Structure 1
Amino acid sequence: MADLQDELHATAEVGELDRPDVEGEFEPDVLEDERGLAVDAGPEGDAADDPLVRAHALLAAHPVADGYSGLPWALRHLPWYDLELGESTIDTDVPRLREGHVAALFWSLHLPEGLVGERAVGATLEQLDLVKTVVEAHPEGLRMAHSAAQVTDARNCGRVAVLLGPAAAAALDDSLGILRALHSLGLRVLTLSGASWAGQNGLTRFGEEVVRETNRIGVLVDLSGASDATVRRALTISKSPVVFTRSAARALRPHPANLPDDVLVELGITKGLCLVPLTAEQTGPSVRDVADHLDHVRALAGPECVGLSGTYDSGAAHPQDLSDASGYPRLVAELLGRGWSESDLALLTWGNVQRVLRSADFTARAARSRREPSTAKIAELDG
């Protein structure tokens, strides 16, 4: 994060309005139990001492912005579904989103391995069209959003905001024009793994141009699954905060998509965002294991650089008590029991995602005044 970051810090901090002043705020007379039913705190406020009750109260004010859902691909294989009523064959539907206090959700446009070129572009467009069709069919529960402001508006209207992305790098077919077209259709996040220009040796010259163009148009760069060399180079050249949509701490669990400690420290310096996945493979089989990763990322990157990624409907196994989108209160209750402050939890669940969305928009507005749309070709730069 180079010169533009100085510009960011010279102004009011991007997303500053989303940083909550919440200490002592969550002591209502009427709280909710695990089922979301009203519980009278009583004159002594005994119910307020229950971490799960406190978790529901906190999430009611600062709901979850979930960084990754595989729902679009899962829905392709269902002959019929109604997300408003609920669907037992998938991990996510509107009732469970409400039970888990999820108010924003990134819907992945990722593809099965092996799709490349025109097939990858076509399949991504079909995924994008499916998402819009699903949202339009469930207007009482879902609403499309393309910015931090629209996410907040959807939440204020009682809807779950749906954001498009991440999409796979293969969806670009090595074309910056296709990147811009996908952005005009609503794409907000692009994953930099799996492309010839973002391999084990890092970003090629064309890969660096992809990062610059994502910055210019306001698409967030997702580095989960990218090589260590690609991660380090992208952290260096990106003017906008990068995100890891599905990465935990490699020191606790040596999964290739998890991050080593030095990268977590650098992420904190550059004000990026690590969205910790709720998967048994990457974080472990229990709520406590997930909390351990969140503790570790917060300690190294800072409380403003850690978030949540349900990774539901992606085919992954999930920790016990976090099997679907309704489980977030149990995770927040565990963190409350570990002494997380309510302000740090509000950043974890909602504020940090809002910050990077606002920052990407701010960076894009500044970059567009300095830089024309790139017409670079991979054959010219990497040939």
Structure 2
Amino acid sequence: MGLPEEDMPLPKPAGTRKTMSSASRNAKQTCVTATSPPSQYKVLKVKASPRNGKPLSETTPRSPTEGKAGGANARPGKSICPISASETYNLKSFQNTPTNYRDKPSSSLGSDDERKAPAIKHQPGSAPTTRRRPGIPSRSQIVLESQLSLEDIEKVEKDTRGQSGNPEWFKLRQNRITASLAHQISHSRFANNKTMEIPQSYLKAVLGTGPRVQTTAMNWGIKNERNAVHAYEKLVSLKTGKQVQVEECGLYIHPKKNWLAASPDGVVRDVLTGDMLYILEVKCPHKHKDHTIREACDDRQFCLRPDGNSYQLRIDHPYYTQVQCQLAVTNMQHADFVVYTNKDLAVVPVTFNAELWKETEPKLEKFYYEAVLPKLNGRGKDIRELEVAGVWAAEE
């Protein structure tokens, strides 16, 4: 989770409105609900293997583990479907790990001075193609889209583990569109060719020039993520009959589109084989911390909705787009979406929606090439400096 930026109060530019694609309307996730733990339920001790390092629930951000998506032990593109049911359990027996597994961000990472960014106007038009973009030479485009080698990408992921507790994570996210912003940007009027005005709050979030804010809700999420991961490991191990462990991860960069990145809350591995099964995204909603999942669903803004005796992740919710972006960046097919409260733990499987992503990615690309790159170029860099800044912003 790192800094739970999805809970960060990001002001919406005037005129921004949600749009739902046809892919979103047709997407559906199926799941079945269990309302109470079986009587034979017992705590399963997840042991770390030398090959895979420690489980995420037992690590600190400064102690990275071995193995990651795209790493030596990973098998890109190979993943099994996670639990087919959304499981909901009473968490009294799970609340035995009060210590945070991630440190609070250092005070040295406090708010940056907010830079003034005047509105930039562009003539609205269709999203740029992947072959050619106005004002950017073809050679420059090749560098921007494929500059980083797989070894570089693996090193970035390893060096940024700990996420919000690691200064490198903040540096390497700058000038990249991350999964937590994917929904807001792709649904903006600018990305959908309905205005010439670039949403400045989103631009500042990508450039890293906006203030860093830590709210009560964000602190709650950081504090309780370890408890959620610990409970998840035991639940999945019980339901699947195989021991799994959640390993922490850092920032993943898209191998072909280096301007796109994501930070899942962890990767789930089979302890016996070391295979990467799927990625994990955890939400600990402070607003519903003392509610059951079913009670939280009465809130129209809640991320889940009931479907008979099961739950679905709402396809019009920002979290759905966030998970889809994470899957696209990591080249995985499945994710487990976990919602944790003081009373419940819900696990909802999410599958990669290729149709939705086909509609979403060009909108993110338009924003990057028409909003972010011109802003970087306006900082006084020539085209060679711009090529590096577009992907290696941390080295400025």
Relative to the length of structure 2, the TM-score reads: 0.27
Query: Which of the pair has the greater relative contact order for Cα pairs under 8 Å at 6+ separation?
Result: 2
Relative to the length of structure 1, the TM-score reads: 0.27
Higher helix share: 1
